[in-house]
Amino acid sequence: MQTSTAKIEVLGRKAKLATSYQELLNEFANRDLKNVGNYSLGKLIGKGSFGKVYLAHHKLTNGSKVVLKSANKDDSNLAREIHHHRQFVHPHIARLYEIIVTETLVWLVLEYCPGDELYNYLVNHGPLPADKVQKIFTQLVGAVSYVHQQSCVHRDLKLENILLDKHGNVKLVDFGFTREYEGKSNYLQTFCGTVCYSAPEMLKGEKYAGEKVDVWSLGIILYALLCGELPFDDDDDNVTRTKILSEEPKYPDHLSSDAAALIKLLLSKRPLLRPTLPDILSHPFLAEYAPQQQVILKLHQPPPFATALEKDCLQRMRSAGVDIDAVIESVLSQKCDALAGWWTLLLEKEERKAKRRERRRKEKEAENRNSRRFSAASSKLERMTPILDENASGYGMNRLGEPPLPKTRGRAERRSGHYVDFTVADLPNLAESKEKGSVPDAFVPPIPIDKASVRSVSSSRNRRPLPPPKEGILRSARSRGSTLHLVTTTGVLDNHSGREESVPQKVRKNPSQAIVATWKNWTHWIVENTRRHRLNKRGSLSTPNLVAKDGQPGGKSPNNPSPRPHTSKYPGTATGQPSRSGDHSPGLPNGHVAEANGARGNLTCQGLGYLLPVTSGSLSHPVL
Helices (H), 200-323: 200-203, 210-227, 237-246, 257-266, 277-281, 290-298, 308-319
Active-site residue, selected from the candidate residues 156, 174, 214, 337? 156
Considering the domain architecture, whether residues 276 and 324 belong to the same structural domain is answered as no
Considering the domain architecture, whether residues 179 and 222 belong to the same structural domain is answered as yes
Other C-beta atoms within 10 Å of 312: how many? Answer: 12
Q: What is the pLDDT of residue 249?
A: 92
The answer to whether 173 and 163 are in contact (CB under 8 A) is: yes
pLDDT in tens, 345-361: 999 999 999 999 999 99
Task: Name, in order, each residue with C-beta under 8 angstroms of 183's C-beta and a sequence gap of 6 or more.
Answer: 209
Domain region containing 55 = 28-111
Give the residue from 88, 46, 94 showing the smallest Cα distance to 71. 46
Q: What CATH number does the domain containing 103 carry?
A: 3.30.200.20
What residue type is 180 in one-letter code? Answer: E
Query: Measured between alpha carbons, how far is 611 from 486 in angstroms, rounded to an integer?
Result: 11
Told to judge if 156 belongs to the known catalytic residues of this protein, a careful annotator would answer yes
Query: Measured between alpha carbons, how far is 35 from 32 in angstroms, rounded to an integer?
Result: 10
Q: Is residue 546 part of a domain?
A: no
Give the residue from 414, 428, 413, 422 showing the smallest Cα distance to 449. 422
Q: Radius of gyration over alpha carbons of the chain, in Å?
A: 54
Considering the domain architecture, whether residues 241 and 336 belong to the same structural domain is answered as no
What residue type is 151 in one-letter code? Answer: S
The answer to whether 128 and 224 are in contact (CB under 8 A) is: no
Other C-beta atoms within 10 Å of 243: how many? Answer: 17
E strand intervals along 357-432: 419-420
E strand intervals along 81-178: 96-101, 105-111, 152-153, 162-164, 170-172
CB neighbour class for 505 (10 Å; exposed up to 12, middle 13-18, buried from 19): middle
* Number of helices and strands in the chain (H, E): 16, 17
What residue type is 449 in one-letter code? Answer: I
Considering the domain architecture, whether residues 54 and 41 belong to the same structural domain is answered as yes
Q: Is residue 287 part of a domain?
A: yes
Low-confidence ranges of the chain (pLDDT < 70): 1-2, 184-185, 385-511, 535-624
Q: CA–CA distance from 603 to each of 415, 452, 459, 494 (Å)? A: 19, 15, 11, 22
Q: What is the pLDDT of residue 621?
A: 44
The answer to whether 281 and 137 are in contact (CB under 8 A) is: no
Considering the domain architecture, whether residues 238 and 333 belong to the same structural domain is answered as no
Considering the domain architecture, whether residues 283 and 154 belong to the same structural domain is answered as yes
CB neighbour class for 220 (10 Å; exposed up to 12, middle 13-18, buried from 19): buried
Query: Measured between alpha carbons, how far is 78 from 93 in angstroms, rounded to an integer?
Result: 18
Query: Measured between alpha carbons, how far is 8 from 2 in angstroms, rounded to an integer?
Result: 10
Domain tally, the chain: 4
Helices (H), 109-236: 118-125, 130-149, 200-203, 210-227
- Count CA within 13 A, CB hemisphere, residue 383: 6
Length of the chain: 624
Considering the domain architecture, whether residues 152 and 222 belong to the same structural domain is answered as yes
Q: Is residue 251 part of a domain?
A: yes
Q: What is the pLDDT of residue 172?
A: 95
Q: Is residue 61 part of a domain?
A: yes
The answer to whether 219 and 226 are in contact (CB under 8 A) is: no
Considering the domain architecture, whether residues 346 and 282 belong to the same structural domain is answered as no
Q: What is the reported pTM?
A: 0.58
Give the residue from 287, 339, 447 showing the smallest Cα distance to 100. 339
Considering the domain architecture, whether residues 608 and 465 belong to the same structural domain is answered as yes
Considering the domain architecture, whether residues 170 and 137 belong to the same structural domain is answered as yes
Considering the domain architecture, whether residues 186 and 274 belong to the same structural domain is answered as yes
Q: Is residue 120 part of a domain?
A: yes
Considering the domain architecture, whether residues 290 and 341 belong to the same structural domain is answered as no
Q: Is residue 496 part of a domain?
A: yes
| SS3 assignment, position 300 | coil
DSSP 49-89: SS-EEEEEEETTTTSEEEEEEEEETT-TTHHHHHHHHTT--
Tell me what the pLDDT averaged over the chain comes to.
Answer: 75
Q: Is residue 76 part of a domain?
A: yes
Other C-beta atoms within 10 Å of 79: how many? Answer: 11
Q: Which of 65, 95, 111 is the last residue of a domain?
A: 111
Q: Which of 250, 271, 298 is the last residue of a domain?
A: 298
Q: Is residue 387 part of a domain?
A: no
